[in-house]
Amino acid sequence: MPIALAYVGAHYVSLLLLQGQAVGPLTSDPLGTGANLLGTAGWGIDYAFSSFTVLWYLQVAFVLSGHLAAVVLAHDRALVVFDEPRQAMRSQYWMLGVMIAFTTLALWLLSEASKG
| Whole-number CA gyration radius for the chain | 21
> What pLDDT shows up at residue 62?
92
| Cα 97 from Cα 83, distance rounded (Å) | 23
More confident residue, 12 or 50: 12
Q: Which is nearest to 27 in space by CA: 19, 18, 17, 39?
A: 39
Distance CA 61, CA 82 (A): 31
Tens digits of residue pLDDT in 58-112? 988 998 999 899 989 988 999 999 989 899 889 889 888 988 898 888 888 888 8
State CA 64 to chain mean position distance: 9
Task: Please state, rounded to an integer, the average pLDDT across all residues of the chain.
Answer: 87
What pLDDT was estimated at residue 107?
85
Residue 16 Cα distances to 1, 27, 51, angstroms = 21, 16, 14
